Amino acid sequence: MTKNYQELLEQLVNKEIESFQINPAEFMDFQAIYMKFESRKRITGEADVNGVITYKYENGAN
């Protein structure tokens, strides 16, 4: 099943989800959507040793 990356990014920004993960096989498909996403500069990704990246939204509030 293919993930809807646009929907995941919107859910992240709207605080419907706290994070989501992208595995190395998905990365190139995800990257194309991510680069066009308006709020991408507020979304951070942290990779683990297996190449799985966990994305979170940073709203600037401390």
**Per-residue pLDDT tens digits for 21-56:** 999 999 999 999 999 999 999 999 999 999 999 999
pTM above 0.75, yes or no: yes
Residue 31 near residue 56 (C-beta atoms within 8 A) = no
Per-domain boundaries in the chain: 5-57
Number of C-beta neighbours around residue 22 at 10 A: 21
Angstrom distance (rounded) from CA 50 to CA 62: 30
Give the model's confidence band at 59: pLDDT under 50 very low, under 70 low, under 90 confident, else very high: confident
pLDDT at res. 1 = 58
**Per-residue pLDDT tens digits for 7-20:** 999 999 999 999 99
